[in-house]
Amino acid sequence: MRADVPGPSAGGVEAVSAPKNTLAQRLARMGLVRGWDFLLHLPLRYVDETRIVPILSLQPGAPAQVEGEIAAVQVSVRKRRQLLVRLRDEGGELLLRWLHFYASQQAQLTPGRRVRALGQVRSGPMGIEMMHPQIRLVDDALPLPDRLTPVYPASEGVSQAWLRRRIGKALQDTDMTDIVPAELRRALGLIDLGAALRLLHQPPSGLDAAALEAQQTPAWRRLQFEELLAQQLALRQARARRRHVGATPLSGNGRLTEALRKALPFSLTADQCKVWQEIEGDLSATVPMNRLLQGDVGSGKTIVAALAAARAIEAGHQAALMAPTEILADQHFQRISQLLQPLGVRLVWLAGRSRETQRRAALADIASGTAELVVGTHALIQESVRFARLGLAIVDEQHRFGVEQRLALRQGQNAPHLLMLSATPIPRSLAMTYLADLDVSVIQTLPPGRRAVRTKLISGARREQVLEAIRREVAAGRQAYWVCPLVEENDEIEAMAAVRMVAETRAMLPDLRIGLLHGQMSAAEKRAAMAGFAARDIDVLVATTVVEVGIDVPNASLMVIEHAQRFGLATLHQLRGRVGRGSAQSTCVLLFDEPLSELARARLRVLYETNDGFEIARCDLRLRGPGEFLGARQWGLPMLRFADLERDASWLETVRQSADRLLHDDPPAAQAMIQRWYAGAAQYLGA
């Protein structure tokens, strides 16, 4: 139940004091700055403190509140230290149990005291009990609240009690005028916004907490619609802004693009030809291209990107290719150099860790226009980088908020065309109709000759099987990746784990050449490790998830992932995509720890059953539940907190039309709605 420390805090009216600086910072991190931010911070669930039930009528499995007198208190040390309190009312007796408790808590709970206990009822070894109940001391007549108690998403240092008071204040002094036109509300049966907010934050007693939590009540529906509309308005606004800036049309004579296609050791697949045509069309227009090139891992996006770059260059402009990590940027640089350098294209490398003299030379070449294609990391979008005539920006696997806007904005009058590459699927119909601001090209089929990667789920206890498989692959002249456990997204600890693991692996496989790759290595070390693996000087590459994106070593045919249940499905799919790139049958081994929870099992089974990134994304969404739209979130769209594009699909057409109408009839109102939903967060995100 709640984490509140026990104390006589109910009902009292305390002044809401100005938050201290540190509190304000913590709140800002949660996106809570203005009144509207607080109003839109909706409860996760509710606790019913409005009723007291007799102990005799308690049912295991449900939350309840009881009131009674403390009959006995005991600190037991059997098995583990715990605080046991017997609470008695007119009809019965109940055990309250704490495994974690403070001395101050214990001191308040003396025999004879009258208290209210609120918690989940369960049947324990000594009858019916509550574990870690929330306690209120009942000194005099303590009135019961007349509203359900909301429980908010909180973080350390921001208490529920404080949030409730602050949100209560926001409900009183924030203008909650409904912006959705009355006629539309009537047509859709939507209730008034202010009424919905009051009801969600302070539901009157008698409402069913469980029904509210299911988020399907009229009040929730009202907020969900509002959110979809606000998101659509924000997307429209971004699109309109972009339409205002022009772009230089890039139509080349085919000098480079034709030569490149001829030089390839393979011919483009039908899908690659189709998306290249779409991109070619966009590039020759006077509005900046804003296109997402989507294709599952290994579908051959890089060559299409190289063609686009060649087109920009033959049209007399510069192109930039930005990748999220230095390893990936470096690999692009190597591969695209191989393709374009023989054709006379001048390439330049720019990354955060470039040496100063190198960096200065690169910047000078970029500014003078000598550099025709610049490949690098986020270093490309820093202030000091000035392009002479950037015509095309390509962003590979980018998941970061606002990068594309910044790239586009830097260029003054004419914006560069923008091509984004991603293996993260956004359902296509959705991206095209709803996302409004983005055109989408899809590569559906993989290049010919690929064999689907076989996926195996193996218990971590049976790791000899894995060692055997590695020996087999290496004996056959192939290579393996061994991915270390994910460590709470902490690069440093993860790197340490990787170092430890490489030592263990060397001990277990003494005859094999084992390499190491992790995020804390220097750029040169990483490059050496990758080069060694690509040149087959390394048999097994022990690595953290830095190998996740884009790495392409076709001779690698085995991917082993440790503690697979800790990874997200999208990451696992990406990792698996590192093998199956050559002609050999490839295998991905997901090592899991037992016992595996029901959910973890279901998630891993998805990977076992399908290789289709789109299907995996759909299952991921379903297993994670509403509110987590993978693709949209990764694309830095205004994220949906309450609405759900799949569940609320039947509204989307109406939302689009309503956004059109509102923008046409009442632009200030549209602006106000965008402000309500996004201004606070945007400020915080620095967007």
The residue ranges that bind ligand ADP (CB under 6 A) are 266, 268-269, 272, 295, 297-303, 447, 550, 552, 554, 581
Cβ proximity to Mg ion, 394 vs 436, nearer residue:
394
Report the helix count and the strand count for the chain, using DSSP H and E. Answer: 25, 21
CB of 550 to Mg ion, least distance (A): 4
Residue 641 binds: one of ligand ADP, Mg ion, none (C-beta under 5 to 8 A by kind): none
The dihedral region occupied by 280, where left means phi > 0, alpha psi between -120 and 50, and beta the remainder, is alpha
* Secondary structure (H, E, C), 341-373: HHHCCCEEEECCCCCHHHHHHHHHHHHHCCCCE
Name the residue type at position 223. L
The nearest distance, CB 396 to ligand ADP, in angstroms, is 8
Contact 512, 492 (CB under 8 A): no
In the complex with ligand ADP, the residue whose CB is nearer, 362 or 395, is 395
> Tokens representing 37?
């931010």
DSSP letter at 436 equals -
- Report whether 163 contacts 41 (CB < 8 A): yes
554 binds, among Mg ion, ligand ADP, none (CB under 5 to 8 A by kind): ligand ADP
Q: Where does residue 184 rank: exposed (0-12), middle (13-18), buried (19+ CB within 10 A)? A: middle
- Cβ of 142: how many Cβ atoms within 10 Å? 15
Please, what is the Cα angle at 17 between 16 and 19, to 5 degrees? 115
Query: Of these partners, ligand ADP, Mg ion, none, which one is at the site of residue 43 (CB under 5 to 8 Å by kind)?
Result: none
Which has the closest alpha carbon to 298: 607, 585, 581, 617?
Answer: 581
Q: From ligand ADP, Mg ion, none, which one binds at residue 303 (CB under 5 to 8 Å depending on kind)?
A: ligand ADP
Closer to ligand ADP by CB, 269 or 441: give it: 269
Q: Which is nearer to ligand ADP, 305 or 501 (CB)?
A: 305
End-to-end distance of the chain based on CA atoms, in angstroms?
A: 37
Residue 324 interface partner, choices Mg ion, ligand ADP, none, CB cut-off 5-8 Å depending on type: none
Least distance from ligand ADP to the Cβ atom of residue 270, Å: 9
CB-wise, 168 or 447, nearer to ligand ADP? 447
For residue 552, the partner it binds in ligand ADP, Mg ion, none, with Cβ less than 5 to 8 A by kind, is: ligand ADP
Q: What is the Cα–Cα distance from 65 to 507, expressed in whole angstroms?
A: 58
Q: Is 613 in the site for Mg ion (CB under 5 A)?
A: no
CB of 170 to ligand ADP, least distance (A): 47
What is the contact mask toward Mg ion in residues 542 to 561, using x (rule: CB under 5 A)?
Answer: --------x-----------
Residue of 387, 327, 318, 373 lying closest to 353 (CA atoms): 327
Q: How far is CA 586 from CA 300, 451, 459, 466, 479, in A?
A: 18, 8, 20, 14, 10
Secondary structure of 21-64 in the HEC alphabet?
HHHHHHHHHCCCCCHHHHHCCCCCEEECCCCCCCHHHCCCCCEE
Min dist. Cβ of residue 419 to ligand ADP (A): 13
Residue found by looking up tokens 């990590």 in the block: 325
Reading the block at residue 571, the tokens are 């990451």
Q: Which is nearer to ligand ADP, 3 or 264 (CB)?
A: 264
To ligand ADP, the closest distance from the beta carbon of 515 in angstroms equals 20
Q: Which is nearer to ligand ADP, 211 or 273 (CB)?
A: 273
| Location of structure tokens 């009881």 | 66
CB of 298: closest distance to Mg ion in angstroms? Answer: 8
Closer Cβ to ligand ADP, 239 or 335, answer by number:
335
Which residue in this structure is represented by tokens 């996106």? Answer: 31
Q: What are phi and psi of 503, to 5 degrees?
A: -65, -45
Q: Least CB distance from residue 267 to ligand ADP, whole Å? A: 6
**Which is nearer to Mg ion, 178 or 612 (by Cβ)?**
612
294 vs 658, beta carbon nearer Mg ion:
294
Of 411 and 555, which CB lies nearer to ligand ADP in the complex structure?
Answer: 555
- Which residues, in sequence order, are CB contacts of 551 under 8 Å at separation 6+? 327, 328, 331, 530, 578
Write the CA distances from 36 to 135, 171, 183, integer angstroms.
32, 9, 24
Residue nearest to Mg ion (CB): 550
Choice between 116 and 301, CB closer to Mg ion: 301
* 311 or 581: CB nearest ligand ADP: 581
Q: Could you tell me the smallest distance in angstroms from the CB atom of residue 575 to ligand ADP?
A: 12
Least separation in angstroms between residue 295's CB and ligand ADP is 5
The residue to which tokens 């309190």 are assigned: 85
Beta strands at 127-131 and 114-124: parallel, antiparallel or unpaired = antiparallel
- DSSP output for 469-526: HHHHHHHTT-EEEEEPPP-TT-HHHHHHHHHHHHHHHHHHSTTS-EEEE-TTS-HHHH
Closest CB to ligand ADP among residues 63, 447: 447
Report, in Å, the least distance between residue 125 CB and ligand ADP.
56
Alpha carbon 506 to chain centroid distance?
A: 35
Q: Contact letters (x/-) for Mg ion, 501-540, by CB under 5 A? A: ----------------------------------------
Q: Distance between CA atoms of 308 and 359, rounded to whole angstroms?
A: 25
Which is closer to Mg ion, CB of 6 or CB of 324?
324
Interior/surface letters 14-34, b for 16+ CB within 10 angstroms, e for the rest? eeeeeeeeeeeebbeebbbbb
Residue 293 CB, nearest approach to ligand ADP (Å):
9
At 296, give phi and psi (nearest 5°): -60, 165
Based on CB atoms, which residue is closest to ligand ADP, 200 or 530?
A: 530
Contact status, residue 132 vs residue 5, Cβ threshold 8 Å:
no
Report how far residue 30's alpha carbon sits from residue 26's, in angstroms, rounded to the nearest whole number. 7
Give residues in contact with Mg ion (CB under 5 A): 550
